[in-house]
Structure 1
C-alpha cells in the first residue's frame, strides 16, 4: 500500500507577517526538499478539501466558529492573541488543514492508503475548544480523532504528540474522553504553561527538562508511553508531529537529533502494526528551523512509506 501525502498550495497563503516563525516557507521548503528526493515518487499526493461545518462542530462550538469568522479581516492583519494573526486567507487555510486531517482518516480507514501525512498549516494542537492561540485556530488532530470515532465507529484512538510545546488544545478537547488515549512529550516549564498537571486519566503527560538529549528522551518515552499504549490497544494512531524538539530549532531547548524522529516513528509503526492494522495519520505541527524540519519530515515519511 501507500503513504498518502496531503497538502494544498492555499495553506501557504496564510501569512502572519515578516519574521514570524510559522511562515509559508515551512511548507514550500518541505515541498522543494521532497521534490528532490526519492520520496516524491513513493507518496500518494492528495489535495484536500475544506472541512465541513458539521465536522468542525464536533470539537468547536458554533459561537467560537462565528467569532473567528467575525474577526477575519477583509484586508490587512488582525491578532487573535499576541502571536497568532489572521489575514483574509487564514480561515480557508485552516479549513483545508482541518479537512486534510479528517480526509486522511477516511483514506486510511477505507484501505486506500496504509498511512498518511498531513503537510498543512496553520497547525492545530494549541487550539482549545473555544480559544485560538499558539499559531492555531482549529484543532486538526482532535477533529481527526473524533471523526474516526464518530464516522468510522472506532472504539479506541490514540493521539501521540511529540511537539516541543504541550498540546494544551488537544488536552482541553479530549481530556476525559475514555475512547481516546493521548500521550505527549514536551519541554517543561515552557509555553503554553498549562494543562500539565492534574489531568484526566486518558492523558499521559511527560514533561521534559530543557537540554534533554536523545538517550534520556527515548528512556522517558519507553517508561511512560509503552505500557499505556499496549494496554489501551488503539485501533488507530493519530500523531501531532512537531519537529521543534530538534536541537537546531530556535523555538525550543531540547537536544534531539534527526535520527530520534525516525526512531520515534518506527516505534509508533510497531504499535500500529500490533493493534491498529497499521493505521497512522500524522499531522504536521511545529518545526521552525527549515533545514531540520525538512530532514525530520523526510525521515518520518521514509519510515511511514516503508510499511
Structure 2
C-alpha cells in the first residue's frame, strides 16, 4: 500500500502578524522537507475544501457564521490575543478540515495504509463556539465524528502529543463514548487545562500532564504506563493523531525537552497498535511546532515512519 499526503497552497494564504509563531513559513519548511527523493513515493493529493455540514459535525452554525464574518478583506484581524485571520483564512481552515476528512476516507477505503495532513491553521484548541490558540475549527474532532457518523465506526482513538493541551478536541468529544482521546502536554502551560482528573463524560478522556524541562524518558514511561494499555483495551478501528511537534527541545513556546527520536518512537508505537487493531489505519494531522528547523526535521521523521509502515 502507500502513505497519502494531503496539503494545498490555500493553506499558505492564512496570514498572521509579523513575528507570530504560527506563520506561513511553517508549511513552507515542511513542504521543502518532504520534497526530497526519500518522499517520492508519497501519494500526494490536494486537500479538498470541506463543506459547511462537515464543520457542523462539531460546531454550531453560529460559530461557522462568526468565523466567516470575522475574516477581513485586507490585513489581519485578531480574534483574541493569539488567534488571527486574514483574507483566505477561512478557506485555509476549510482545506485543513477537508484534507483530514479526505484522509479518513482514503485510509478507510484501503487506498492508503495511512496519511499525513500538512495543512494550517491547526485545530485542536478550537472549542464549540470559541476559536483560540491559533485554531478556527476542531479538525481532529471533526475527522473523528466523520469516521463515526458517516463510516459507522464504533471506536476511534485520538492521540494528541502537541505540547499544549488539546482543550478543543476534549471539549468537542467530552460526551462521545465512541471516541477515546489522549493528550500529553506540558503543565503548567497555556491553556491551563488538561488535568488528569478531567476524564470526560464516559471516562473517554486521558490527560497526561508533564512537568516543564522533562524529557522523552518521562514521556515514554507515561505512554507505556497509561496510553498504550488503554488503546489495547479499546481496540480502535482507526487512530487519529494530532501531531504537534512543539514538545521538541528547540521549540520557543514551551519547555519540554523531546528529541526527533522521541517523535519517531511515538509514531512507531502508534503504528504498532494500528497494525494490531485496525489494519494499520492512521490519519495524522499537523498541529503545533514553531522552531522551523526542528519542525521540518520532526515532520520528516514522523512521515518516514508512516511510509515505512505503509509500504
Q: Which band: TM-score by shorter chain?
A: over 0.9
Unaligned runs of 5+ in 2: none
Whole-Å separation in 2 of the counterparts to 1:70 and 1:45: 32
The reply on whether 1:213 has 2:207 as its aligned counterpart is no
Q: Does the 8 Å contact 2:63/2:130 carry over to 1?
A: yes
The reply on whether 1:95 has 2:94 as its aligned counterpart is yes
* 1:160-191 superposed Cα distances (whole Å, 9 cap, x missing partner): 00000000000000012110000110000111
TM-score (norm 2): 0.97
Whole-Å separation in 2 of the counterparts to 1:37 and 1:135: 32
Partner residue, 2:141: 142
Partner residue, 1:72: 71
**Shift of residue 214 of structure 1?**
1.6
Q: Does the 8 Å contact 2:198/2:206 carry over to 1?
A: no
Classify the secondary structure of the residue corresponding to 1:42.
Answer: coil
**Shift of residue 285 of structure 1?**
0.2
Partner residue, 2:285: 283
Classify the secondary structure of the residue corresponding to 1:83.
Answer: coil
**Shift of residue 195 of structure 1?**
4.1
**Shift of residue 20 of structure 1?**
0.6
Whole-Å separation in 1 of the counterparts to 2:198 and 2:281: 30
Whole-Å separation in 2 of the counterparts to 1:282 and 1:247: 21
TM-score (norm 1): 0.98
Partner residue, 1:251: 253
Classify the secondary structure of the residue corresponding to 1:81.
Answer: coil
After TM superposition, the structure 1 = structure 2 runs for residues 170-181 of structure 1, keeping only pairs within 5 Å, are 170-181=169-180
Partner residue, 2:240: 238
Q: Does the 8 Å contact 2:15/2:76 carry over to 1?
A: no
Classify the secondary structure of the residue corresponding to 2:257.
Answer: coil
**Shift of residue 198 of structure 1?**
3.1
Whole-Å separation in 1 of the counterparts to 2:171 and 2:251: 26
Whole-Å separation in 2 of the counterparts to 1:280 and 1:198: 26
* 1:143-175 superposed Cα distances (whole Å, 9 cap, x missing partner): 100000011111000000000000000000001
Unaligned runs of 5+ in 1: none
Partner residue, 1:44: 43
Whole-Å separation in 2 of the counterparts to 1:261 and 1:181: 21
* 1:24-79 superposed Cα distances (whole Å, 9 cap, x missing partner): 0001111112213411x121100011101111101000011111111111222211
Q: Does the 8 Å contact 2:194/2:209 carry over to 1?
A: no
Whole-Å separation in 1 of the counterparts to 2:276 and 2:77: 46
Q: Which runs of 4+ in 1 moved over 3 A?
A: none
Whole-Å separation in 2 of the counterparts to 1:246 and 1:70: 36
- Over the aligned positions, Cα root-mean-square deviation in angstroms equals 0.9
Paired positions, count: 306
Whole-Å separation in 2 of the counterparts to 1:131 and 1:83: 13
The reply on whether 1:120 has 2:119 as its aligned counterpart is yes
